[in-house]
Amino acid sequence: MNNPEFEFLFEENQNDEYIVFDTETTGLNPKEDEILSIGAVKIKGNKIITSETFEVFVKNSKEINAKSIEIHGIRECDLKNATNVKEAIEDFLHFIGSKPLIGYYLEFDVAMINKYIKPMLGITLPNEMIEVSEIYFEKEITLIPQGNIDLRFDTILKNYDIPNMGVHNAVNDAIMTAMIYLKLTTK
Amino acid sequence: MVEGGINPHANKYGVIILSILDQRKLIESIHPFELLSSSTLDDLVKKIDIAYYPKDTLLISKNLLSIAFYIIIKGSVNEIIDDEIHNVYISGDSFDADSLIYSKGDSKFVVDEDLICYEIKKDDFLELMQNKKVQGYFLSDFISRHKHLKEYDAGGDLTPFLISKVSDIFLHSACVVDADKSIYDSLVKQKDLKAKIIIVKDGDNYSVVTDTDLRDKVLLGDININDNIRKVASSGVISIDINDFLFNALLIMTHSEIKRLVVTEDEKIVGVLEQLDLLSYFANHSHLVAVQIDKANSLEDLKNLQNDLRNLIVSLKSKGVKVRYITKLVSALNLKIYKKVFEMCVDESLRDKCALIVMGSEGREEQTTKTDQDNALIIKNGVDTSIFIEPMMKLNKALLEIGFPKCDGDVMVSNEFWRRDVSSFKKLINSWSTSMSEKSVQELSIFLDSKYVAGDELLLKELLQYLRRTFHSRDDILAHIAKAVLNFETPLSLFSGFVLEKEYNNKLDLKKGGIFALVHGVRTLSLQYGVEATNTIERIKELNNLGIIDKNFATELIESFDSLSAIRLGAMLESKDINQSNYINPKSLEKIQRDLLKDSFKIINKFKKFMSFHFHLEMVS
């Protein structure tokens, strides 16, 4: 850790809040690809605090690949007013604090964030990680012990009757992931 | 930076935030939120959270004060009062303004299917209520809310039919002359005013002089033009109030077969409404259909009219005409057809020895598209009933050919049971008043809606009087008849999609579920209190006049009946098969129609409770 301003990341989590987040990237290789946007929402108890949503669009060093535009719908011109990477990541860290992080294939999103904070702060994200596809797997496997569990996002949405928010973007995906988490854990 | 993170709605990065737009769109699609200004809506969206509640969560109850206004994204919630499901809320619905505004209520809200919803916090909601339009919507009682929804349903194209009044149309000046005036002077005045008719005032009485009167009595007759005008006046005056609806004017003209109406305001004559103007105003074919029926010379002619009739209904409905007016018009036209067929099949010498009546929905004038034939023939005492066999078989066959479907219960003049003389009908009435069988109640119910079509009207009058006398003060048997109201459960719970009748592809039965209870209950009350009207809405109005049900409840019942009928008419026009047309799938309805349907079912439930109490139905087994 080379920046005391971010020591709060290591503080004990004081309240029962969680963060669900998702990133949109230029591709699936954390080594080469870059973050286009980050979306995050808080969960408190049984509520998704959409009134305090986090969403940021990030300026990129390279041109966006045409294929990936089809997936995330973010065009060059959408990023005209985007913020630079450093500021975006810092804002994100302030938003998440030391709260546990929830996500779907979180490993990838965390690796994307780490790629930036490692050189900035000399650390990787210290937060507790909660993987929804893992909770889903454990829940399903008790129902069908030898079964093949389909872990695709859309399958989980369908099985748990979660509304599809339509457009795929970081915030919507985070909200849907949050709904899955609530449905898996609230009973 | 604000503690807790960035608020993206501040739009710090100047980037369009799609997800927020999605939420906004959803909220905007829910009435009455679309009434909010764009900036209020923006503020609102920023304050909304999403919550998840598993099945069986108790959201609001007497001891659990409401903390938020809920808008359902997915799942369903039951509102329960006194252990009975009072309402079901599903995707797109919202609740519960009352609990938030009054901080109390008798309702319990329980999650019935895992719920994902938006929450507007109590304080934010109350702030929203500062908006007059929103306030008006949530604070209004059932009737105004229902009307509000209906108007909204009618859409931006607020139809001329619904709102046009007599005062909206061009009226010809009325040429009113004193009865003592000479014919000559009257004609001069008529010419000056360019009036089509002369209205003759004789004290407090009015009569009319038409061109035909003048031709027949002055030109071709022996009356001198210097004689008093009263000498040529013949036809009586049929009038309509200037504030009445144009549609009613059309109805009166069709019914009375007249071409003009005298228009009054505060009971003073202010003008004359000409049929031609009215027709061009509406530019539809209802009157043309009527004229064509009159002109029809053969069954073939009548058969050819069926398409016109159907088009008429479709066009009236799309213009937003209240269903009760459509059904009345259609019934009036169908009666004309019946009359015509009667004349074609029954020899003139037999016509005054019998009375043809229609019963059931035709008798109540609540027929939209062709429903089953329900008809009977009353024969004068002392006349050989067998001479009517052949003409009635012919009549039945003719009706079938024109397109009036066969009655499954065989309630038709071709069936001996419904073709009797007066004494025999009286015996039948006696048997109804003593038998408790389901069949008797059914037959009685059908007969109670009898309406005269052709022949000797007095025969039916005599029977109806006899019927009322027979059932007078027979509360025991009346309760037994009323019991059928409770036969079918109101399908409120159907909205969550669990109890829909499987064999009909998840559709609910509008007739069984709602319309029947209302029609039958009102019919039974009408028998009890001697109400002569057969039309359900008119019966309700009469019952209100008699003080049996209060004004508010009467209006609720009428509005509900109208909504249910409208939704049913829509289904009928869409389906080919009559048996299918009573079934609708609530999920295929638009949100507003679904709300109207739910509201209506609530009123039906209230009515059932009223009937139970009124006839002590808990005690009848």
> What interface predicted TM-score (ipTM) does this complex get?
0.74
Residue B40 CA neighbour count, 13 Å, CB half: 17
> Using CB atoms, which residue from A52, A73, A172 is nearest to B7?
A52
pLDDT in tens, B464-491: 999 999 988 888 888 888 988 887 777 7
pLDDT in tens, B78-113: 888 777 777 778 877 888 887 787 776 778 899 988
Q: Do A167 and B23 touch (CB under 8 A)?
A: no
Q: Which of A20, A168, A175, A170 is nearest to A82 (CA)?
A: A170
Chain B partners within 8 Å of A51 (Cβ): 46-49
Q: What is the 3-state secondary structure (H, E, C) of B447-472?
A: HHCCEEEEECHHHHHHHHHHHHHHHC
Provide the residue type at B15 as one letter: V
For residue B384, what is the enclosing H or E element?
none
> Using CB atoms, which residue from B47, B54, B119 is nearest to A187?
B54
Q: Do B18 and A167 touch (CB under 8 A)?
A: yes
What class, spelled out in words, does domain B8-139 have in CATH?
A: mainly beta
Q: Which of B18-22, B49-53, B461-465 has the highest mean pLDDT?
A: B461-465
In angstroms, the CA B531 to CA B293 distance is: 32
Length of chain A: 187
- pLDDT at residue B263 greater than cutoff 80: yes
pLDDT band at A79 (very low <50, low <70, confident <90, very high): confident
Chain B partners within 8 Å of A56 (Cβ): 6, 8, 13
In angstroms, the CA A100 to CA A171 distance is: 18
Q: Which residues contact B122 (CB under 8 A, 6 or more apart)?
A: B66, B67, B68, B69, B100
> Using CB atoms, which residue from B52, B73, B119 is nearest to A183?
B52
Rounded to a whole number, what is the distance in Å from the CA of B133 to chain A's nearest CA? 25
- pLDDT at residue B169 greater than cutoff 80: no
- pLDDT at residue B400 greater than cutoff 70: yes
Q: What is the 3-state secondary structure (H, E, C) of B200-221?
A: EEECCEEEEECHHHHHHHHHCC
pLDDT band at B554 (very low <50, low <70, confident <90, very high): very high
**Where is average pLDDT lowest: A114-128, B191-205, B550-564?**
B191-205
Q: Do A94 and B1 touch (CB under 8 A)?
A: yes
- The CATH label, of 3.30.420.10, 3.30.470.10, 3.30.450.40, 3.40.50.1980, for the domain at A4-185 is 3.30.420.10
DSSP secondary structure of B3-23 = TT---GGG-TT----HHHHHH
For chain A, first and last CA: distance in Å? 39
Q: Do A55 and B54 touch (CB under 8 A)?
A: no
φ, ψ at B79 (rounded to 5°): -100, 125
Rounded to a whole number, what is the distance in Å from the CA of A150 to chain B's nearest CA? 22
Provide the residue type at B319 as one letter: K
Q: Give chain A's largest Cα–Cα span.
A: 51
pLDDT for res B540: 96
Q: How many CB pairs under 8 A join A and B?
A: 101
Chain B partners within 8 Å of A163 (Cβ): 73-74, 116
For residue B156, what is the enclosing H or E element?
none
In angstroms, the CA B426 to CA B420 distance is: 10
The mean pLDDT value for B17-42 works out to 70
In angstroms, the CA B425 to CA B417 distance is: 9
For residue B342, what is the enclosing H or E element?
helix B323-345
> Using CB atoms, which residue from B19, B51, B53 is nearest to A169?
B19
pLDDT band at B150 (very low <50, low <70, confident <90, very high): low
pLDDT band at B493 (very low <50, low <70, confident <90, very high): low
Rounded to a whole number, what is the distance in Å from the CA of A136 to chain B's nearest CA? 17
In angstroms, the CA B534 to CA B567 distance is: 22
Rounded to a whole number, what is the distance in Å from the CA of A30 to chain B's nearest CA? 25
pLDDT for res B590: 72
**Can you list the positions of beta strands (E) in B203-267?**
205-209, 239-241, 260-265
In angstroms, the CA B401 to CA B373 distance is: 12
Q: What is the DSSP letter of B383?
A: S
pLDDT in tens, B353-383: 999 999 988 888 887 666 678 899 999 999 9
In angstroms, the CA A175 to CA A178 distance is: 5
Q: Please indicate whether residue B259 or residue B161 has the higher confidence score (pLDDT).
A: B259
For chain B, first and last CA: distance in Å? 73
pLDDT for res B148: 58
Length of chain B: 621
Provide the residue type at B197 as one letter: I
Exposure of B28 by Cβ count < 10 A (0-12 exposed, 13-18 middle, 19+ buried)? middle
Handedness of CA B57, B60, B61, B62 (dihedral sign): positive
Do residues A56 and A37 touch, judged by C-beta distance below 8 A? yes
pLDDT for res A97: 93
In angstroms, the CA B543 to CA B529 distance is: 8
Q: Which residues contact B619 (CB under 8 A, 6 or more apart)?
A: none
Q: Which three-class secondary structure state does DSSP give residue B576?
A: coil
**Where is average pLDDT lowest: B141-155, B266-280, B465-479?**
B141-155
Q: Do B22 and A172 touch (CB under 8 A)?
A: yes
Q: Which CATH architecture has domain B166-282?
A: Roll (3.10)
Q: Which of A19, A33, A30, A29 is nearest to A92 (CA)?
A: A19
Tell me the average pLDDT of chain B: 80
**Can you list the positions of beta strands (E) in B444-587?**
451-455, 508-509, 583-584
Q: What is the 3-state secondary structure (H, E, C) of chain A?
A: CCCHHHHHHHCCCCCCEEEEEEEEECCCCCCCCCEEEEEEEEEECCEEEEEEEEEEEECCCCCCCHHHHHHHCCCHHHHCCCECHHHHHHHHHHHHCCCCEEECCHHHHHHHHHHHHHHHHCCCCCCCEEEHHHHHHHHHHHHCCCCCCCCCHHHHHHHCCCCCCCCCCHHHHHHHHHHHHHHHHCC
Which residue of chain B comes nearest to A76, CA vs CA? B15
Q: Please indicate whether residue A63 or residue B616 has the higher confidence score (pLDDT).
A: B616
- pLDDT at residue B570 greater than cutoff 60: yes
Chain A partners within 8 Å of B5 (Cβ): 42, 52, 54, 91, 94-95
Q: What percent of chain B has pLDDT over 90?
A: 24
The mean pLDDT value for B230-241 works out to 83
In angstroms, the CA B576 to CA B586 distance is: 19
Do residues B77 and B61 touch, judged by C-beta distance below 8 A? no
Exposure of B339 by Cβ count < 10 A (0-12 exposed, 13-18 middle, 19+ buried)? middle
**Per-residue buried b or exposed e for B182-199, using 16+ beta carbons within 10 Å of the residue's own CB:** ebeebbebbeeeebbbbb
Beta bridge partners of A37: A24, A57
Q: What percent of chain A has pLDDT over 90?
A: 40
Q: Do A47 and B15 touch (CB under 8 A)?
A: no
pLDDT for res B41: 81
- The CATH label, of 3.20.20.140, 3.40.50.9100, 3.40.50.1950, 3.30.460.10, for the domain at B287-431+446-456 is 3.30.460.10
Chain B partners within 8 Å of A172 (Cβ): 18-19, 22
pLDDT in tens, B112-137: 888 888 898 888 888 887 777 777 77
Radius of gyration of chain B (CA): 29
Q: Do B116 and A179 touch (CB under 8 A)?
A: yes
pLDDT for res B151: 58
The mean pLDDT value for B577-597 works out to 70
Instruction: Give the B-side interface with A, CB within 8 Å.
Output: 1, 4-9, 12-20, 22-23, 46-54, 73-75, 114, 116, 119
Q: Which of A179, A60, A84 is nearest to B49 (CA)?
A: A179
pLDDT in tens, A109-156: 999 999 999 999 999 999 999 999 999 988 888 887 777 888 888 888
Q: Where are the domains of chain B?
A: 8-139, 166-282, 287-431+446-456, 483-619
> Using CB atoms, which residue from B12, B50, B119 is nearest to A175?
B50
**Where is average pLDDT lowest: A82-91, B59-68, B276-285, B392-401?**
B276-285
What class, spelled out in words, does domain B483-619 have in CATH?
A: mainly alpha
Q: How large is the angle between the packed helices B246-256 and B275-282, nearest 10 degrees? A: 120
pLDDT for res B4: 34
pLDDT band at B5 (very low <50, low <70, confident <90, very high): very low
